[in-house]
């Protein structure tokens, strides 16, 4: 087959650069453009020396019409609120789009002002966009031209909870998600308080009580449960570069043993090549770092009638760029594991 011509808008950020890293060795992809707002004119491998010899292109300014004409697919990895201004122009050039930010994750445009503090300028595309979690929407991903890549926290949280909600094992009320992320989740730009001296040997909660990822978690869980699902979500910043560990607590609706619950997870994820159900170990971020894998397990506390579901992912892999490439494979009818089968980096 002819190579898929791919471009990455926002290639200077961590998510965009990780997409470039994965695409450089993808057997069916040719990278045609990499763009950067603040680093345009820089050579990609100067900014990311790990890519030296793999991609030495100069990062250009964004020209959505040109990029759309030259590309079969464009990955947009910009801060939320920016992609919606250029995605329509890309689509008009018959270019498929994978938005790694939040601009097309929510189906309801009225949710953007309260959760993201902006008014959506391209609301007509929200219903068309497919939420890019294959374990929920694999078939739709194979026919869409616009993918809304999940957020990093939602990817881990949804994969932890999906089997329990899908099979009606837990109550819809009172779900609590406690999650930890490495500092790369803030992006290359970062922000105040993310220097080594502030982050090292320090753990802190943030974004309470309305972290914007709650909206997509509740949207997808409610759709899965065919009922309104609300969650309490507490994210924490921890002193490591990459990784997310999400622990979800849900009250049981029916008596279920731990072995039965694990079998439920194994059955649910039997056709999911990047989800590994652990029976005799706990998920850990180090085991998924640098990969597109998600490790999950579930424990049952009969004393409190609580299911405790745990998931670990790489926030830049399964939580961003790895998932985006996974979605591209599905959009172009490639085996979904193409270019993504490398194990995590350990230690």
Catalytic residues: 152
Beta-carbon contacts of 125 under 8 Å, excluding residues fewer than 6 positions away, are 84, 87, 88, 91, 104, 146
Tokens at 279, concatenated = 């029976």
Instruction: Give how far Cα 73 sits from Cα of 194, 252, 340, Å.
Output: 33, 43, 18
Torsion angle defined by CA atoms of residues 34, 98, 94 and 21, in that order, rounded to the nearest 10 degrees: 30
Nearest Cα neighbor of 193 from 145, 154, 237 is: 237
Q: For the residues of 37-72, what is the DSSP string, one character each?
A: SSSTTSBHHHH-GGGTTT--PBPB---HHHHHHH-S
| Cβ atoms within 10 Å of 178's Cβ, excluding its own | 17
Length of the chain: 347
E-strand stretches of the chain:
4-9, 29-35, 73-76, 96-99, 130-131, 146-148, 175-181, 204-205, 231-237, 244-251, 275-277, 294-301, 306-313
Ordered alpha helix ranges (H), 146-288: 152-166, 196-199, 213-225, 258-268
Please name the residue that has the structure tokens 């059955």: 267
> CA angle at residue 35 from 32 to 39, to 5 degrees?
140
CA distance linking residue 342 with residue 314, whole number of Å: 13
CB 278 within 8 A of CB 308: no
């Amino acid at each position: 087959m002819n190579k898929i011509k791919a471009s990455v808008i926002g290639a200077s950020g961590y998510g965009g650069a990780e997409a470039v890293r994965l695409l450089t060795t993808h057997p069916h992809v040719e990278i045609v453009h990499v763009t950067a707002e603040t680093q345009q004119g820089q050579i990609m491998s100067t900014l990311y020396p790990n890519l030296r010899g793999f991609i030495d292109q100069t990062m250009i300014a964004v020209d959505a019409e040109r990029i759309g004409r030259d590309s079969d697919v464009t990955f947009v990895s910009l801060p939320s609120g920016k992609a919606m201004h250029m995605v329509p122009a890309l689509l008009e050039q018959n270019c498929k789009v994978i938005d790694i930010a939040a601009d097309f994750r929510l189906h309801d445009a009225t949710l953007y002002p309260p959760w993201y503090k902006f008014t959506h300028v391209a609301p007509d595309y929200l219903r068309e966009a497919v939420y890019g979690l294959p374990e929920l929407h694999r078939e739709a991903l194979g026919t869409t031209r616009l993918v809304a890549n999940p957020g990093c926290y939602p990817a881990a949280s949804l994969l932890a909870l999906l089997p329990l909600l899908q099979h009606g094992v837990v109550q819809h009320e009172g779900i609590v998600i406690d999650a930890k992320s490495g500092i790369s989740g803030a992006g290359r730009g970062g922000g105040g308080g993310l220097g080594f001296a502030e982050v090292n040997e320090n753990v802190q909660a943030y974004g309470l009580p309305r972290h914007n990822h709650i909206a997509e978690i509740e949207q997808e869980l409610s759709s899965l449960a065919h009922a309104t699902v609300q969650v309490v979500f507490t994210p924490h910043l921890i002193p490591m570069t990459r990784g997310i560990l999400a622990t979800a607590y849900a009250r049981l609706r029916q008596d279920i043993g731990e072995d039965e619950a694990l079998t439920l997870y194994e059955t649910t994820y039997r056709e999911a090549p990047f989800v590994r159900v652990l029976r005799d170990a706990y998920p850990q971020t180090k085991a998924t770092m640098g990969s597109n894998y998600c490790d999950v397990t579930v424990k049952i506390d009969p004393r409190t009638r609580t299911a405790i579901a745990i998931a670990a992912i790489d926030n830049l892999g399964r939580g961003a760029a790895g998932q985006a490439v996974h979605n591209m494979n599905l959009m172009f009818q490639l085996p979904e594991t193409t270019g993504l089968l490398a194990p995590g980096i350990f230690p």
